[in-house]
Amino acid sequence: MQNALTPAEVLELVIRGDYHDPFSVLGMHRERGKLVVRALLPGAVSAAVVDGKTGNILVPMQRLGDTALLFAEIPGRKELFRYRLKIDWGTHEQELEDAYRFPPVLGDIDVWLLSEGTHHRPYEKLGAHPAVMDGVSGVSFAVWAPNAQRVSVVGDFNGWDGRRHMMRFRHECGVWEMFVPHVMPGDLYKYEIRDIDGNVRLKADPYAFRSQLRPDTASIVHWLPPVAPSDEVRKAANALDAPVSIYEVHLGSWRTPEDGRRWLSYRELAEQLVPYVKSLAFTHIELMPINEHPLDDSWGYQSTGIYAPTARFGTPEDFRDFVETAHAYGIGVILDWVPAHFPADAHGLARFDGTALYEHEDPREGIHQDWGSVIYNYGRTEVQNYLVGNALYWIERYGVDGLRVDAVASMLYRDYSRAPGQWIPNKYGGRENLEAIAFLRKLNETVGIDRPEAVTMAEESTSFPAVSRPVGDGGLGFHYKWNLGWMHDTLSYMHEDPLFRKYHHDKMRFGLMYAYSENFILPLSHDEVVHCKGSLIGKMPGDEWQRFANLRAYFGFMWGFPGKKLLFMGGEFAQYREWNANGSLDWNLLQYPLHAGVQRVIRDLNTVYRDFPPLYRLDFDPAGFEWIIHNDVDESVFSFLRWDEERRFVVVISNFTPVPRYGYRIGVPQPGWYREIINTDAVIYGGSGIHNHELLAQPVPANGMPWSLEVTAPPLATCMLIRKES
């Protein structure tokens, strides 16, 4: 064992870079009544100890044999003092502070919280932080690797030599740490880890705030972004009773530069994308993951650097500028966030110190069957802190408005996408992943307490109960849940020829059976336009005119239906092609009237949605919805009311056949004149122009209501009516 080694054996291990406690040997020490300075300087020709106060050379250093270890006894001194090392590298001389003269980086409270697993902002201490210690500028490094035999920080500043800056181990919390003088923001670095088995691994920093662009994998020293202030305006815009209409974007393929570059920058996107989203009256942008990731084709969902905005589009400051620009336009920013898994790339988290540190040892728990990725071990408090801290990091340090949590279903169930015998039951013998459930509750409680202006959204595809209910009521604590069932049912209905839709009528109304079980977002996301699923317009039946009319009518139905809205880029102008992440959207299609008409209808639907509170105020309250007609199977017509808390209402009518319905009677709750606020059959959208002019309610009961209107239901169209105020 190393603690029983002789002094000579210890020095030999230090020289080889194999010693677990280099600070006990290197630097300045009192030994037998004398001060001794030792430094391991591979490649140095000679060195001397310099008085840190006067700058005078005190004594030249001697070399231990033919090794890289140099040492000196300091004459006439008994007390420890500040010193530097003057080093002759053969080609040049350099005067440096000795990293081994500085005290520990972590304070007692940090060590306690990290060891206890209650440090909600571990990124404030772990990772690389530019700092000043004892009047010297440098960088504090700290990394969790409790089972490593030795950890060094390596980079351009030490020739990537793991012997130069071997770190101090804090047994209490499993963290290796060190202050390295003279390192600056912009310097490249990694951790060289001699793992539990003695193998040397070169790892990127799990907490790196900036990383190199693939194929390079080094971390980059960068300042921790300042805290973004809380914003009551943004809090109100994210609320359950607010209009929320989300434009989902993959930044790399929204639009490509005209000068041949692969991507627009964050700042160019702020100048182009944000005003575009504003012009279409969306309330939020949702970005597919912008964390650093090694494979373009993963779209960011397999990240090796969850604290670093990807370098594909610029610097962390550039990304923060994008968020601030969006906010200046009144647009919220939501990030897709992936705590379900991570890739097994050698430079990443996998077997970080030679053990399953962030993941599970058993592949029945630790390998994601669908993606070949690695699953986080949610039962470890350090892993929970890593992830919860990351959620707070994006909200607090970049000011993002929310996180859409990816693949929640795969987290909730131990048997997700696994055959019998390929999964391990929980302690009660069940299939639920109790540790993941506890993690998600902790995540949502922490965000709710520390940054209540932000929201979390679950992409959850099963019937797991109470996903968007408070933790105190037994729920998972998300604010919103994606309604994937509604999306699948309604798209399946729209795919049918109108002649046969009467046989699938329930698909459009079934969503009301469970609409108030969760706080739902209605998503038409990227998942529906990739992997041979075609485009939205490609799912519509009929000739060209009918396909576009179907899509416009569907959008109108969606914007009238209870729930917040989400549309993936390209859908707003009916892109024909399936989405391709390696190219731009087909913006040239906007020269054609039918495509431009879809874009206009999205703009106007968003505007109407925001302008009329009944369409959003009671999205999650049954009092906000009332069927007028849901059983007209033969004519495929649906009509309903949307109410707000002040009993104002909007009438929604959808006709999903190409046959206009003239003199179609629908009940209404109040007398008076009614007018259209939108009609997806309008000529400006590419429709046939069949409108309802002002309509006077008649005292003829219909559909259980005392008054009624004789409306025209345009072909393959949705229209909305309001009662005119007298």
Residues forming the active site: 406, 459
The token duo for 689 is 């122009």
447 close to 454: Cβ distance less than 8 angstroms: yes
Closest CA to 284 of 250, 329, 254: 329
CA dist list (Å): 415 to 373, 375, 459: 16, 13, 18
> Is there a cis peptide before residue 215, judged by omega within 30 degrees of 0?
yes
Name residues whose C-beta falls within 8 Å of residue 637's C-beta, 6 or more positions apart in sequence.
Answer: 629, 653, 654, 655, 656, 657, 661, 664, 713
Q: What is the C-alpha separation between 405 and 440, in angstroms, rounded? A: 10
In this structure, how many other beta carbons lie within 10 angstroms of the beta carbon of residue 534? 16
65 close to 71: Cβ distance less than 8 angstroms: no
712 close to 692: Cβ distance less than 8 angstroms: yes
Name residues whose C-beta falls within 8 Å of residue 238's C-beta, 6 or more positions apart in sequence.
Answer: 244, 332, 401, 402, 453, 454, 455, 479
Burial 91-114 (b: 16+ CB within 10 A, else e): eeeeebbbbbbbebbbeeebbebb
Q: Among positive and negative, which fits the CA dihedral 154, 160, 161, 162?
A: positive
The DSSP-derived string for 109-178 is HHHHHHHHT--S-GGGTSEEEEEEETTEEEEEEEEE-TT-SEEEEEEGGGTT-TTTSBPEEETTTTEEEE
Block residue for tokens 């009660």 = 428
Q: What is the C-alpha separation between 208 and 477, in angstroms, rounded? A: 29
CA dist list (Å): 556 to 72, 208, 245, 655, 681: 81, 44, 13, 11, 10
Q: What is the C-alpha separation between 500 and 504, in angstroms, rounded? A: 7
Q: What is the C-alpha separation between 286 and 334, in angstroms, rounded? A: 4
Give all strands (DSSP E) within 463-603, no chain letters: 480-482, 520-524, 564-568
Q: What is the C-alpha separation between 52 and 62, in angstroms, rounded? A: 20
- HSE-up (13 A, CA, CB side) for residue 617: 15
The DSSP-derived string for 192-218 is EEE-TTS-EEEE--TT-SSBPPTT---
Q: Compute and round to an integer the Cα radius of gyration of the chain.
A: 31
Q: What is the C-alpha separation between 704 and 380, in angstroms, rounded? A: 58
DSSP 635: T
Closest CA to 601 of 553, 660, 655: 553
H or E stretch at 655:
strand 649-655
At 447, which amino acid appears? V
The token duo for 271 is 């100048």
